[in-house]
Amino acid sequence: MRYSSQRVAYAYFVVAMLLFGLQVAFGLLAVAKYLGPDPLLQLLPFDVVKAIHTNLLLVWLLTGFMGAAYYVVPEESRVELHSVRLAYVQLGLWTAMGVTAVVGYVLRWTAGNKLLEQPFPLKIVIVVVMLMFLYNIGMTIRAGGRLTTTEGVLVAGLASSALLYLPSLLEFDNYTVSIFYRWWTVHLWVEGVWEMIQGGILAYLLIRLSGVDREVLEKWLYVIVGLTFISGMLGTAHHYYWIGVPHYWLPLGGFFSALEPLSFLAMAMYAYYAMRRAGLSHPNHMAMHWTIGSAIFSALGAGILGLAHTWPAVNKWTHGTMITAMHAHMAFFGAYVMIVLGMITYALPGLTGRGEDSRETSAGFWAFWLQMAGMFGMTMAFAAAGITQTYLERILGIGYLETQLKLQVHFLMLAATGALFVAGVALYLWDFFFLAGRPVEAAPAERLAPAQPGA
Amino acid sequence: MTKRGTRAFFVASTLLSALVFVALTIDSHRKIPGLTNAAAIDASVIAGKNVWHRNNCINCHTLLGEGAYYAPDLTQIATQRGSAYLREFLKDPSRFYSEERDRRLMPTLGLSDADITALIAFLGWVSKIDTQGWPPRPILVKGSAVPGANVGGPAASPASSDPIELGRVAFNSTPPGCSACHSIAPGVNIVGPTLSGIAATASGRVREGAYHGQAKDAAGYIRESILDPNAHVLAGPTFSAGGRSLMPSDYGQTLKPEQVDQIVAYLLTLK
């Protein structure tokens, strides 16, 4: 950490971690409901739990992304943040929005649109928060007069996320039109501009952790982002197959979404290349684990498992089954959860004023491996459930309810591996809150330290 | 390749993709009204869409295959169940399903009659969207778990032009969705009564004193049940409410006369 204003990232990470903990708790509650019967049926039914589970994910990931940007941008532009105060006000407003949304869902205040359940007034708050964020970052870059490719891709990803949120403010009488545009937000986030964010953070971490020449890494970053948009933009079509749009979206979606794994594979090769060049020389081994892990896990979860059911002739049978949950869990975890945890793990020693090599705890490693094992097991459980469901319900034509009864054993596996995963999250939070220490006031010398040339 | 080159690749590929995407979006806007029967979107359908959103239905169910996977897909539910059934179901789902038996139950939402009417109108509109042939085989809420019910039956292509075969295929298709409620296995009542041995049952029933319909024989009874479900109402928790059948009563309009003939011919083979 070279600039004292970077410390604002710590507060963002605290909020992100608290919401992460809450998110996985609601995940466990959801799987309990799959096992049934449900004693909370009227009080806290599945739909509320699921909306909270997914919304907390989106909110805490965005909190992590914004925290990451507040950490990265001053360092890259070599200048203090434009306004630390504004960053804290923004975080306060954002957190208040998140908490209000969750409480609102429990009280059945919802827009009832999948992943965009935020009621209209809260959507406006989200837009305001995004604008505050972009203003603060924009002014910082202006003051620094230096925009690197790495931070450029990260900030462009966040700015585009804000822009693509705007369609969610519109309402359409035709349900088909409204889901058409819902995917502009949801799909173009997670298979478009969020990949820019992931790529930007990944490039930053690889530059820092491997010491490989920035020019080389940034050159290939453009290729990764280019591949993302070639495949991801027209790949939106794989959400359009069966919703009442013209037929040409089927071959189009099949072709372009089959290309989507390329950008994830490129990221995995990218990380592998950087590590081979540099070796594991950086003292923050835990950050290295999360960074490389993210690149590999996202290639599997987002790339390969997405490909598994994206072709129209396959999707015709698997659409709307647990196959989707299989892909979604591993993809979100690999691409976005792990990169944020990597960023936090990397930044933590600097934020808490410790030497980089003092951050290696067995709790931290257990957190990593338990989450790995847990998420891998959950993905397998979802896959087994999804494949069984596809055969029994969709191909043989057995009823939904009877099929679900046959899936009980997979839901048990899901609960068991989910518990492993939650144990890993709990250890990560324990490490973050109790072992890593708290931020200290920066010594004046630290503030004046010049940035490393070429870094 | 230089950094300048890769940047050019990024900018060019992004712009090109965006251009194609926006062009196709504009074209889709021209075609969606036809594909979705947009002329039928009236105030009631819009009100129903709001009920759908307000009650967060999408976070348990799927619609057009999108949503959560905790409850059945509802794309064709209006066709498969009909409004009389859906109205009773929405008032009290626990009358039709039990947590002990099915492990899942929909909470009672406390919807007003107006909300229910609107929601059924919305689901009715959705069921007529041109979904490019999805789902390839009807997705049933319940049923067919018993061997010999519908398992393995071909979806839509009849093996011959034999009226009985055509009737069997129609019975198993959605629409009309007969098999979504009626099994042909003995003792399996999905929602409506089982049609196992219906030919024999029907010829016995027309001779019973309790029967007040017009039919004189089994074929007449089956035809009458399809076209006018209220001609003779069976008591049963999921069959009827307040002496009125929960079966859709509009098959006279939605089925062609020869389709009714074919379904009757098929059902007469169930002895």
How far are the Cα atoms of A60, A281, B143, B253 from residue B261, in angstroms, in the given order? Answer: 60, 80, 25, 14
- B195 token code pair: 């049609």
- Give B-chain residues touching A215 at CB under 8 angstroms: 3
- Tell me whether residues B107 and A317 touch, CB distance under 8 A: no
The low-confidence residues of chain A, meaning pLDDT below 70, are: 355-358, 441-455
- State phi, psi for A243 to the nearest 5 degrees: -100, 5
A47 touches B at CB < 8 Å: yes
- Tell me whether residues B2 and A219 touch, CB distance under 8 A: yes
Interface test with B, best of A327, A402, A414 (most B CBs within 10 A): A402
Q: Write the pLDDT tens digit of every residue in B55-65.
A: 999 999 999 99
- Tell me whether residues B97 and A401 touch, CB distance under 8 A: yes
**What's the one-letter identity of residue A382?**
F
Residue of B nearest to A39 (CA): B99
- In sequence order, which residues have a C-beta less than 8 Å from that of residue A292 and are 6 or more positions away? A271, A272, A275
- Tell me whether residues A229 and B6 touch, CB distance under 8 A: no
Q: What's the mean per-residue pLDDT of chain A?
A: 93
Residue of A nearest to B155 (CA): A397
- Give A-chain residues touching B134 at CB under 8 angstroms: 241-242, 316, 319
Percent of chain A with pLDDT over 90: 87
- Tell me whether residues A394 and B18 touch, CB distance under 8 A: no
A249 touches B at CB < 8 Å: yes
* Dihedral of alpha carbons A245, A247, A250, A253, sign: negative
- Tell me whether residues A320 and B69 touch, CB distance under 8 A: yes
Q: What's the mean per-residue pLDDT of chain B?
A: 90
8-state DSSP, B26 = H
Q: How far is it, in rounded angstroms, from Cα B180 to Cα B182?
A: 6
Ramachandran bin of A26, using left for φ above 0, alpha for ψ from -120 to 50, beta for the remaining angles: alpha
A341 to chain B nearest CA, in Å? 27
- Give B-chain residues touching A227 at CB under 8 angstroms: 13
Angle, alpha carbons B250-B255-B257 (nearest 5°) = 115
Kindly state the average pLDDT of the residues B68-86: 95
Q: What pLDDT was estimated at residue A444?
A: 45
Q: What pLDDT was estimated at residue A445?
A: 45
Q: Write the pLDDT tens digit of every residue in A391-447.
A: 999 988 889 999 999 999 999 999 999 999 999 999 999 999 999 888 876 554 444
Q: How many helices (H) and strands (E) does chain A have?
A: 19, 0
> What CATH number does the domain located at A4-440 have?
1.20.210.10
Of the candidates B31, B36, B66, the beta carbon closest to that of A320 is on B66
Q: How far is it, in rounded angstroms, from Cα B64 to Cα B76?
A: 9
Q: How many CA atoms lie within 13 Å of B94's alpha carbon, on the beta-carbon side? A: 9
Residue of B nearest to A399 (CA): B142
Interface test with A, best of B29, B42, B97, B103 (most A CBs within 10 A): B103
- Tell me whether residues A48 and B56 touch, CB distance under 8 A: yes
- Tell me whether residues A176 and B36 touch, CB distance under 8 A: yes
Kindly state the average pLDDT of the residues B76-82: 93
Interface test with A, best of B1, B25, B30, B56 (most A CBs within 10 A): B56
A110 touches B at CB < 8 Å: yes
A51 touches B at CB < 8 Å: yes
Closest CA to A66 of A21, A113, A126, A114: A126
B269 to chain A nearest CA, in Å? 22
A446 touches B at CB < 8 Å: no
Interface test with B, best of A245, A270, A394 (most B CBs within 10 A): A245
* Dihedral of alpha carbons A247, A251, A254, A255, sign: negative
What domains can you pick out in chain B, each with its CATH number? 33-126 (1.10.760.10), 163-268 (1.10.760.10)
- Give A-chain residues touching B144 at CB under 8 angstroms: 396-399, 402
- B119 token code pair: 């929601």
- Tell me whether residues A233 and B21 touch, CB distance under 8 A: yes
Q: Write the pLDDT tens digit of every residue in A81-114.
A: 999 999 999 999 999 999 999 999 999 999 999 9
Q: Which of A428-432, B78-82, B98-102 is predicted most confidently?
A: A428-432
- In sequence order, which residues have a C-beta less than 8 Å from that of residue A409 and are 6 or more positions away? none
Q: Write the pLDDT tens digit of every residue in B224-252.
A: 999 999 999 998 888 999 889 999 989 99
The reported pTM is: 0.90
DSSP string computed for B118-131 = HHHHHHHHHTTS--
- A287 token code pair: 């950050």
Of the candidates A173, A230, A247, the beta carbon closest to that of B46 is on A173
DSSP string computed for A353-409 = T--GGG---HHHHHHHHHHHHHHHHHHHHHHHHHHHHIIIIIIS---HHHHHHHTHH
Kindly state the average pLDDT of the residues B30-48: 97
- Give B-chain residues touching A234 at CB under 8 angstroms: 17, 20-21
Q: Write the pLDDT tens digit of every residue in B151-167.
A: 444 445 666 788 898 99
Q: How many helices (H) and strands (E) does chain B have?
A: 11, 4
- Tell me whether residues B144 and A396 touch, CB distance under 8 A: yes
A14 to chain B nearest CA, in Å? 29
Residues of A numbered 298-327 whose beta carbons fall under 8 angstroms of chain B's beta carbons: which are they? 316-317, 319-322, 324-325
Residue of B nearest to A247 (CA): B132
